[in-house]
Amino acid sequence: MKKILLCILLLAVSAGARTMWVRVYYDTEEARVQLLANDFDLLTGSAQNRYFEYFLDEKTAYDVQAQGYIVNILHPDITTFLNETYGNLRMNFGEYYTYDEMVQEIETISALYPALTHLTSIGQTWQGRDIWAVKVSDNAGMTEAEPRVLISGAHHAREPIGCSIAIDNMYWLLDNYGANDTATAIVNNSETWFVPVVNPDGYVFNETYDDPWGWRKNCRDNNNSGQMEPEFDGVDPNRNYGYMWGYNNVGSSPDPTHGAYRGPEAFSEPETQAMRELCDSAEFIYAVNYHAYGNILIVPWGYIDSWVPSPDSEEYYAMAESMTTYIGVPNNYVFGTGMGTLGYETNGTSDDWMYGEQVEKPKCFAFSPEVGSSFWQAATDTNIIVNQCNDARPMNIFLEYRAALLGIEETEAVSISNLSVWPNPVHDRAILRFDLDWHVRLAVHLYDITGRLIYARTAEYGPGIHELYLDTRRLSSGVYVLRISQGEQTILKEKVVIIRG
């Protein structure tokens, strides 16, 4: 490994060591693993660009450089950075919602839209604070047989942007209900649940915490001292979920002093217990759990130290591509597994549990966006918060509308017309043509005369004219059956004759 120092040379270690914000590059898999083994407080990473970001004291940063790593100093002194940026010696909420401001905001929303919202506490923390949730739907006070979506923020206490995004999405749905077709369809045909702050105790602790980079965990009293002692206390809620909890000591830590401490057992924490009970009762089909930072969109699996995709990776990646590339104004987030995006594994996470646990509840396609370029990036700039909400909103709407379509499908037949298969008989290729009046999810299956499945495709199609091409060059001459369906409803069942030349 080349011993190169980028951008700013490290200064000689002085008696008063500074805390630096650094980006450390690795060039081999061995170097990546060795770097992670240091157990530094990991802020973010990039698998594509092969780096991790840390806050390190000056001596440690110097030692890392001496080991042969490329060290790029993003800022040589965090204390100075905070003083210059925020006007004090610690990060603060500034333009972000504090916990009390969040509670006031969702109470205001509930009062403004009493018929469309249901405000409820889903549990209480170690310190007795409520974990608030808001349901948005056309009959919010009732439990209807509708598909449900979850939007959550602030599993990690130093990542306040998730709270802002959740509240922004609430307002978009409610303010546009009755005026915007998409918002109206979502509210009428599905339920969207919001938990703006999953970790209230840790969130509130950051209002007074003196550490310059903020508190990450909850406020569990690990050493039973009767008071909050940061050097000993707290559990990482996003390492405390049950699926693959404690899979290894790399993706989470058994050490209570570590930032990724997973807790004494799975679901030991009131925050994850509350989320578990909500997910089990609501049976969400989609979830978005917001974090910071990196401008990436993470999908399962997180617990495996490889690029192994989940069983539904094809559908996951298709949704992730739409969420980041095609919907609204593209945010162009990098998407993939934790290893494929951040370059490190995590176990006991919300996404792995929401997707992987399929016994006590149905499967939920869960995503974790990592928003922005630092934890408190927008503390003094409302415009940054607005822009980040604008980037995130289409991702939420995409999943909410997909859920709404399922709700529509339960009560309305698909409006399809001008359906044809041409030519028939077929030589090399058949063209399936159809018109749609609205978005719908269709399944196309081709069977041979014995009933054996030859071809299958399931996809969503928007309003308008569509053409689907069936390549039949590898099929033998004979009679086949083409079936097009929406859910359990068969829309077309037609014989197709293939003739080989």
The first and second tokens of residue 394, run together, are 């289409």
**Amino acid present at 272:** T
Instruction: Kindly provide the residue ranges of all beta strands, DSSP E only, lying in 61-189, ordered along the sequence.
Output: 70-75, 117-124, 130-136, 148-152
For residue 152, give the nearest of 285, 270, 291, 269 by alpha carbon. 291
Cα–Cα separations (whole angstroms), residue 303 to 74, 241, 353, 370, 452: 29, 12, 10, 17, 37
Q: For helices 181-189 and 161-176, what crossing angle results, to 10°?
A: 100
| Rg (alpha carbons) of the chain, rounded to whole number | 25
Burial bucket for residue 473 (CB in 10 Å: 0-12, 13-18, 19+) = exposed
Q: For helices 161-176 and 99-112, what crossing angle results, to 10°?
A: 10
Q: Is 62 left (phi over 0), alpha (psi -120 to 50) or beta?
A: alpha
For residue 53, give the nearest of 34, 67, 35 by alpha carbon. 35
Alpha carbons 280 and 346: distance in angstroms, whole number: 23
Active-site positions read 370
Q: Give backbone dihedrals phi and psi of 251, rounded to 5 degrees, phi first.
A: -80, -10
Alpha carbons 20 and 195: distance in angstroms, whole number: 33
SS (H, E, C) 200-216: HHHHHHCCCCCCCCCCC
Q: Give backbone dihedrals phi and psi of 8, rounded to 5 degrees, phi first.
A: -135, 130
Q: Residues 338, 302: contact at Cβ < 8 Å?
A: yes
Q: What residue has token string 């929401």?
A: 354
Helices (H), 306-372: 313-321, 338-341, 350-356
Residue environment code for 380-393, b if the CB has 16+ CB neighbours within 10 A, otherwise e:
eeeebbeebbebbb
Q: Give backbone dihedrals phi and psi of 131, rounded to 5 degrees, phi first.
A: -100, 105
For residue 323, give the nearest of 394, 373, 372, 257 by alpha carbon. 394
